[in-house]
Each structure stands twice: as C-alpha cells, then as structure tokens.
Structure 1
Amino acid sequence: MDMPSAQQAIACNKDAWDQSADLHKTTDTWAALSSKVGAADFSCLDPTITGLLQEVGVAGKDVVQLCCNNGREALSLFSLGARSVVGVDQSRAFLEQARELAGASPHNPEFIESDIHHLPEQVHGRFDIALLTIGVLGWMPDVGLFMRHVASTLKPGGTLVMYETHPFLEVFDPRAQNPLLPANSYFQREPFVLQESIVYEGQGEVAGPTSYWYVHTLGEVVSAAIDAQLQISHLHEYAHSNREELYDKYEHLPAQIPLCFTLTATKRPASSGGLRDSPE
C-alpha cells in the first residue's frame, strides 16, 4: 500500500475526527461532562497531570492546550487558577462540542480552529504554558516539525507540559489472541492505517474513514523537544495506563512495562532564524 504524504495524512485524520464526533456525544463520558462542567472547580484531569501542573504553576498564567478535542481538559485548567485558557484543534465538530461545554461552564476559554501546522499569528509567543495530553503525538507525521510549532506558542521562558501514552505500548496489540506477545516494531516508520471510527469507550470497532497513526519513539520525542529549543527539566515514566480501557490489561503485570510518561520543557530565548523559514 502506498503511504500518504504528511499533508494527505493530516487531512485524512481531520476528516476522521470530524466524522467520529457524533459518536462521542452518545457516551457515558459526555453525559457525565455535561452534568458536571457547570461547577467552578470542575476538572477531569487525573492526579498525575494535576500534580504536575500544580508543580509547574498554572495559577495566574496564560495557558494553551494544543489539540484540545472537546475542551474538557482546557476547561479543567481554570480549577488550577489559570488566568486565561485557549484551546486549539483542527476538528470543527469537536470544537462545537467544546463551545457547548463552555456554554454550560462559568468560565470563558477561547477556542481556535486550526491545524497545528498552520497556527494563526494570534497564538505565537503568547503563552506561559502549552499543554499536550493523551493521544496527540500519534496523529503527527513529523514529530520534529510538530514540536517546533508547539514551541512557537510559548513566550521565552514558557513551559511545555506533556502527558502522553508511552510509545512502547505500540509494540503490543491489545486485541490479539496473546496481547502480551510483541506484535509491532518499536521502530516502525510507516504509520498504522486505521479504518474505524475514533472512539475511546468500549472495545467494539465501528467502521469509519481511513486515518493514520504514527509511532514516535521516546528518544525521538525528547530529541524533537531539544531541537525546538526546549530545555527538558522533567521526564518521568509510569506503570499506569492513561489510554482507553482496552489497555488496562497491561497494568499490574509481574514484569511491568511503561504505559505513559510526563515531560516538561522550557523555551529558551529566541535565536537567529526561525520556524517560519522552515519547510512545511
């Protein structure tokens, strides 16, 4: 099978997310969000990322969440005292959900529809903190280019905070007869080709448009941050899963594997040249 160009993959992934949006509004998670988001202290953030954000210091800060999906985590940042919150996502359908949740909330985040690779001027160099959470990196064909765009949103001295699934988990297939037997190379270059709707509750597959999921090793992620002039100050791996319930089977194994990680990195002062001169 011929692999798509980066631009083609990004467009296919956007279409897949847009077409999957309605499925997310029929879940128990959406019902729970709708009933709880009106509280001033609403948060759906788990203890791991909550503790890290408290350590970094969100109170009084301007925060952007890149690839914010339906805005639930962006809204949660207000419970930590964020001064302002902006959520960016390329899926119009999910941003409609984000605005619906925000309309039921006492808070007033800003939501911007944009592909991370074509961010508008209004987000450049604007934020104290940029947040990336679970399930973002795999949709990005070029993690180095992606990380440079992430860095472009930060003020000098601003901090990237990342809470992601561990790429080593991609070695295993949770639906396989023996889910503990390695099924894929950790160093796989070509993306996984998915032909199912993007849903995170339950274990059933729903046919959907083609999308592409890329594996970036932890070393590649770290190197991408460094190349984007981000100075890493924290990297921690965990044995708990922050993915869909299908992956819970990998917790509490006798020989435990890494299931997720957190990373923080600070933007260095600007040097000569810049992102806008880099090839797309």
Structure 2
Amino acid sequence: MTKKISDYTAANRAVWEVSAPLHEQGAQWDALLAQAGEPGFSVLDSHLTETIRALNLTGGTAFQVGCNNARELLSLRALGLVPKLGIDQSAAFLSQGVRLASACGADVKLVEADIYDLPSGLGTFDMGLITIGVLNWMPDLPAFFRIVAGLLADGGRLVIYETHPILEVFDPASATPYEPAYSYFDGSPQEIEEIITYDGQDHGKGETGYWFVHTMGAIVTACAKAGLQICELTEYPHSNREPQYDLYQGRAAQIPMCYSLVAAKSA
C-alpha cells in the first residue's frame, strides 16, 4: 500500500521525538546553553557564515525550516539578522529551542508543524535557512520548495547548506567504504530505525522513519520550479555531517561532500 506524504512525515516526527532527549543532557548541552547567553553566540561554521554574510541582509528577518532546537536560527543574530520563525515537527526539540532562546534573550516564534501542513498567517521573511539533513526527510521535494518559497518576502533569499547527495552512494561502515554501495538515482524511501544523534555513536533502535535521497538535479530543479532564481551553487570537499564520514575528506581523488545553494525570490 502506497503511503501518503502525511504518513511519512508522521513517522519521521516520531523518530525525532525519540532522539530529542539525548540532545538535552550531558556536558555538550550544558555548554551550548551557557554559550547561548554569550554575546555573538553562533554554532555556524565558517563556510555558512561567509555565505550568509555575503548576502548583506543585516537587519533582515529570518526563518528556518527543520530548525531542531533553534541553535542555528539563533546564531543568525551574530550576523545581524533577526531570527523570527523556526519550524519543526518535534515538540521536544522545540522545547529545547525555547530554553536556548531564553538564554539568548531572543524573541523568536517556534512552531510545531508538518511543513506540508503549515498554519496560516506565519508571515514572510527576508531570508530562509535549510541545513543538513532536512531535504532528505522530505517525501515531496517540489511541494516542499513551493511552501518554503511562500515564506520568503519578495527579494528574499533562501540559503541551503546541506550534505552533498553523492555521499549517499557510499557506506562508511562497509568493508569497502570507497566503493559505491547504493544507486545515486534510487529515490525510494529508505527505512531508518536507529536513534539519531550527531556523535557517530550507536544508540540503538527507535521508531522507524523514512529517508529520501534526492539528486542534485532534483534539488536545483525543484527550487527553480518553485519560482526561485538560483544565484549560486558551491560544492565543498569537507563534511558537515556525522564523524564517520570524515574518512572521505582530504583524498587525492576528492568527492564533493557538502554544498551551499543560494536562491532568490523575485522582487
């Protein structure tokens, strides 16, 4: 039986609700909470920082789709932007975001919602942000970008900083990690059962979610067909995902490991 979009998004919400408590405990969380109260707080790396800074959007408003605990959204304050809206399905992660926003002294609206079924009246903003992993949880990429485009003000910019889809071809845990293990063109839903964290450790099984591999062509095309003009696409040789993928860095025959894409909504 074919699943509906809402079936996939509901399953993925359950995955992240199970994962969330692991991100709100221990020294790493305590450090993040403490850092959030410091001037110039930011968890953004130098590549994303420079990409956003080059847009010259100081004073502009910003939103993030798949904001998790809002640490990246709140980091935009250090770049002169005003974070206004974070959207995520996980209530547990958003509760962490409330704590971080309070530590920052930031007035930001955090909305628990399925991106395919947003409440009305959220407004429009000068910049939208999408970061690692968000696109791969999306079963319908064209619909996703149409919705995101609707949150951008005329002349607004969308910034994507994501894992390069070519990495999905490889399995770093296999006996032959440098040989392709999966088809780049297999867009069928892949079941994810492990509890998701960012530390590269095995935390056992949780709920079953669904991961979708979208080619670079599919991503760029869906963005453009949503009425957004592609301004730049930059591919990088470094990893912005889990530590187990670091073995693909620094090789003579280097593959692209992540990318940034900037798109604009016509004024």
TM-score interval for Structure 1 and Structure 2 normalised by the shorter chain: over 0.9
Tell me, yes or no, if the aligned pair for 1:40 and 1:106 is still in contact at 8 Å: no
- Offset from partner CA, 1:63-87 (integer Å, 9 cap, x none): 0011100010011011111134311
Correspondence for 1:56: 55
Structure 1: how far apart are the matches of 2:26 and 2:194?
Answer: 17
Correspondence for 1:221: 219
Structure 2: how far apart are the matches of 1:31 and 1:98?
Answer: 14
Paired residue secondary structure (1:156): strand
1:36-55 matches, cutoff 5 A: 36-55=35-54
Report the TM-score when normalising by structure 2: 0.96
Paired residue secondary structure (1:249): helix
TM-superposed CA distance for 1:156, in Å, is: 1.3
TM-superposed CA distance for 1:205, in Å, is: 4.2
Tell me, yes or no, if the aligned pair for 1:40 and 1:107 is still in contact at 8 Å: no
Structure 2: how far apart are the matches of 1:62 and 1:104?
Answer: 20
Which segment drifts farther, 18-27 or 253-262? 18-27
Structure 2: how far apart are the matches of 1:182 and 1:144?
Answer: 27
Paired residue secondary structure (2:209): strand
TM-superposed CA distance for 1:28, in Å, is: 4.4
Correspondence for 1:147: 145
Structure 2: how far apart are the matches of 1:48 and 1:28?
Answer: 26
Correspondence for 1:273: none
State the AA in 1 paired with 2:55. V
Correspondence for 1:249: 247
Structure 1: how far apart are the matches of 2:50 and 2:5?
Answer: 35
Correspondence for 2:202: 204
Tell me, yes or no, if the aligned pair for 1:203 and 1:246 is still in contact at 8 Å: no
TM-superposed CA distance for 1:268, in Å, is: 2.5
- Offset from partner CA, 1:157-192 (integer Å, 9 cap, x none): 111111000001000011111111110000002121
Which segment drifts farther, 26-35 or 131-140? 26-35
- Offset from partner CA, 1:19-49 (integer Å, 9 cap, x none): 1110112354323211211012100000000
| 2:240 matches 1:264 | no
CA pair 192-3 structure 1, distance change in 2 beyond 3 A: farther
Structure 1: how far apart are the matches of 2:143 and 2:228?
Answer: 13
Structure 1: how far apart are the matches of 2:84 and 2:78?
Answer: 11
Q: Which runs of 5+ in 1 are unaligned?
A: 270-280
Percent identity of paired positions between Structure 1 and Structure 2? 45
State the AA in 1 paired with 2:24. K
